[in-house]
Amino acid sequence: MIDINDEVHNFFLGKRLGKGIHREVFAFPLKEGYVIKIANDSESRAVNLIEARIWNQLNETPAQKWFAPVVDVSESGAYLIQRRAEQLPKEKYPKKIPHFFTDTKYSNFGWIKGIGFVCVDFGSFNMFRGITTKMVKAEWWGD
């Protein structure tokens, strides 16, 4: 017998694009150009909620151009829908980025057509440095 939760999960998810310590990321088949991030546990749900909160606070500020838009998050934080970014070769990544990006893992960033270069994984960033226009040399790491 098929578990109804598994069936719903498989029906609403597209191709798995990645997996981190907190979340799995899937193409969102109901709307092209979007992803759905699924939290692994309660700590991970908090990461989704924080990411949505950061987006909501930065939306319509000069800093918003550096962040992939969050479209929605479920009440518990289990699911988050975000614009999908395309990763390009590392040599195309900017040489300087805002100082508040503390985790410069290559896969945390990408490009969205019409928006530009953005961070896609910012739910666990250390924002205590403040959101300013200060730029620093980017030191990309990872695959």
Taking residues 118-143, what's their average pLDDT? 86
Provide the phi-psi class of 33: left if phi over 0, else alpha when psi is between -120 and 50, else beta. Answer: left
Domain count, the chain: 1
Decide if pLDDT at 107 tops 80: yes
Q: Is residue 128 part of a domain?
A: yes
Q: Which domain holds residue 32?
A: 4-137
For the stretch 46-56, pLDDT in tens is: 999 999 999 99
Q: Is residue 142 part of a domain?
A: no
CATH of residue 47: 3.30.200.20
Decide if pLDDT at 127 tops 80: no
Taking residues 63-73, what's their average pLDDT? 96
Q: Is residue 53 part of a domain?
A: yes
Distance, in Å, from the CA atom of 135 to the CA atom of 100, rounded to the nearest integer, reads 9
Which is nearest to 114 in space by CA: 24, 6, 10, 33?
33
